[in-house]
Structure 1
Amino acid sequence: MTLTRLLTGAALALGLATTAVAQDKTKVGFIYVGPIGDGGWTYEHNQGRLAIEEHFGDKVETVYQESVPEGADAERAITQMALQGADLIFTTSFGYMDPTVNVAKKFPDVKFEHATGYKTADNVSTYSARFYEGRAVQGHIAGKMTESNIIGYIASFPIPEVIRGINSAYIHAKKVNPDVEFKIIWAYTWFDPAKEADAATALIEQGADVILQHTDSTAPQAAAEKAGNVITFGQASDMAEYKPTPRVSSIIDNWKPYYIERTQAVMDGTWETKQTWDGIGPGMVEIGEITDAVPADVKEEALAMKEAMANGEYHPFTGPLKKQDGSDWLAEGETADDGTLLGMNFFVEGLQGEIPQ
């Protein structure tokens, strides 16, 4: 055998080995509803993606597409990611539910994980966090700190996740301040800084001195800072650039452990369909630093509630509770079941206004 043929054979073998190594990489994709710099929801999902890279090193390749509208655009983006060889795809917004299920049917060998949805398949799992636990803490602080007794709430879409959050915050604000009133503006967006700023400003003009939000940008924080004497809470991410005020605490979504665990399962061949709904106890929901702008006794009470939820001693939806129409819902000491919470389509007694259909 000539030296040339030997070298050619060695080069070919090396090339095949390199290809095999490349193929051994697990490719993990992410579809984001907002930009990775939104400072909130998408930012934290992207932190989870970066955690996968840090944890697995050259065993993984991650790809992402940001600012993907919910609906047909999402289906195209998810399809494209599957065609590009992704082994596992995380779709990170409620409106991606049907597009995810539709694409999953066409790619049975790809694993899909959908955030905040409820539809599963052999290759589709769902995951979400019990954000309402964090809302309970926020409601307690808000009810104690409001001087106008008007709390503004910027709601995104009238889906169970958002309705749960409004109810939880209201229940806990009302417990400590019977005079409290919630004013709700439906923004019909997850991320639109201009819309969110307008909503915050409108609520402040209506007398709100506390703003809660279920939208993803820091625009409401900036509007509150400009107005002065208004407190806010970080949503999905810490939004720490606005502390100690107006941002006095936050709900932080910690997706990192889940993303690492599910990537590992794909690598190990042990991935199975499941529905995950974790809260403060397992660490998927974190409460950001409560600043010194909050009175010490209020901070202590809020942290005690957080601890009670973490160890299972307290459930934010504990009776007696009635629905908005005055009908009975939960008896004294009774707690809401997950099925009701996951499909929540009603306000609790005392909240004003109707849920848009």
Structure 2
Amino acid sequence: MKPLKSILTCAAVALGLAATTAAAEPAKVGFVYVGPVGDFGWSYEHDQGRLAVEEHFGDAVETTFVESVPEGADAERVLTQMALSGHDLIFTTSFGYMDPTINVAAKFPNVHFEHATGYKNADNVSTYSARFYEGRAVIGTIAGRMTESNKVGYIASFPIPEVIRGINSAYIHAKKVNPDVEFKIVWVYTWFDPSKEADAATALIEQGVDVIMQHTDSPAAMTIAEERGIMAFGQASDMLQFGPTARLSSIIDNWEPYYIARVQAQIDGTWESVSTWDGIAPGMVKIGAFSDRIPADIQAEAQALADSIAAGDYHPFTGPLNKQDGSVWLADGEVADDGTLAGMNFYVEGIEGDVPN
């Protein structure tokens, strides 16, 4: 029979080991992607952020992801399964996941959710997005300077405010440096469909465009631009490897710092619901290296614009600006407020065609 002191000592050791094991339990963090991680665009860059989390935290974090999840009921099913399987923090990385995120979060109040590009928050739901329109002001300037046909093509995904803002910002700044520029817009109603994106790029080229922008996720348009000898911009990632001659620059989504900070807050127990909308200054939006085919003076002009935006000296939506119908939107020197930008559903003056319903 063991003496009481020995029994108590063993119990204390056992409790200590249990406490250590509990303390060492990794935070379980999930990511849901609308496209494949190999799209070399939107989902690819979010997954680069996930990998950065793993590298930064090591064994303190366990990450999982589900790719190519349609927006809607399928997303709600995937999120429910993640919550049931013990995830502490879940990132939902597409606009169409907004309502599924809110619905599932209401059922799992102890799980924290982060929704990208949405606007609905809850006690356990944060929202985050990037001011991509800042980057589009920069590449719009380059496009306006570089086009020889004065026709710029834009492959658009869905008519949501984020995409409409991007079209408007790119057009405004292309028009500032080239009053003769025209935008040709093709809506493909998908985030990731290389076949549709390639067809859209081909259709734009047949309309005479010699520069292509996109708000879709695959490098298909860049590949077509390379094959057809025109110019293009990388979207979400650099995409240089798909158009070494065609690519002029790119808008790069840099989610790594945000993901690391939010996972750290989860680990520290300081996570709270926030709304984040960052741009060039904090580095969430990065401008890819300029191609050597862009003349030095145009590179300098584009860089100066990016620097001015980052410094807070210039806002891409500064009046005078009119809506498409000619009505005044912003007076001279007036800056658009975030609420209007977040819900933007109109084209600015000069863009042809209607915003789809």
TM-score range, shorter chain: over 0.9
Which secondary structure state, in structure 2, belongs to the residue aligned with residue 235 of structure 1? strand
Residue 20 of structure 1 is matched in structure 2 by 22
Residue 260 of structure 1 is matched in structure 2 by 260
Which secondary structure state, in structure 1, belongs to the residue aligned with residue 236 of structure 2? coil
Structure 1, residues 310-347: CA drift from partner, whole Å, max 9, x if none? 00001000110000000000111111110000000000
| Aligned partners of 2:34 and 2:70 also within 8 Å | yes
Within 5 A, what are the aligned runs for 1:213-232? 213-228=214-229, 230-232=230-232
Within 5 A, what are the aligned runs for 1:292-303? 292-303=292-303
Which amino acid in 2 is paired with 1:189? T
Output the CA distance in 2 between the equivalents of 1:238 and 1:55.
23
Structure 1, residues 194-248: CA drift from partner, whole Å, max 9, x if none? 11000001100110100000000000001111111x1100001111213542111
Give the alignment's Cα RMSD to 1 decimal.
1.8
Residue 309 of structure 1 is matched in structure 2 by 309
Which secondary structure state, in structure 2, belongs to the residue aligned with residue 314 of structure 1? coil
Output the CA distance in 2 between the equivalents of 1:33 and 1:330.
35
Residue 83 of structure 1 is matched in structure 2 by 84
Output the CA distance in 1 between the equivalents of 2:119 and 2:257.
21
Residue 157 of structure 1 is matched in structure 2 by 158
Residue 274 of structure 2 is matched in structure 1 by 274
Structure 1, residues 165-186: CA drift from partner, whole Å, max 9, x if none? 0000000001111111101000
| Aligned partners of 2:226 and 2:244 also within 8 Å | no
Residue 191 of structure 2 is matched in structure 1 by 190
Percent of pairs with identical residues: 73
Q: Structure 1: which 5+ runs fail to align?
A: none
Output the CA distance in 2 between the equivalents of 1:242 and 1:101.
37
| Aligned partners of 1:244 and 1:292 also within 8 Å | no
Q: By how many angstroms is 1:268 displaced? A: 1.0
Output the CA distance in 2 between the equivalents of 1:331 and 1:139.
22
Within 5 A, what are the aligned runs for 1:138-217? 138-217=139-218
Q: 1:34 to 1:163 in 2, by over 3 A?
A: same
Q: Structure 2: which 5+ runs fail to align?
A: none
Which amino acid in 1 is paired with 2:320? P
Q: By how many angstroms is 1:293 displaced? A: 1.0
Runs of 4+ residues over 3 Å off in structure 1: 8-19
Q: By how many angstroms is 1:20 displaced? A: 2.4
How many pairs were matched up? Answer: 352
| Aligned partners of 1:131 and 1:279 also within 8 Å | yes
| Aligned partners of 1:244 and 1:293 also within 8 Å | no
Output the CA distance in 1 between the equivalents of 2:124 and 2:322.
39
Q: TM-score, normalised by structure 2?
A: 0.95
Which secondary structure state, in structure 2, belongs to the residue aligned with residue 271 of structure 1? coil
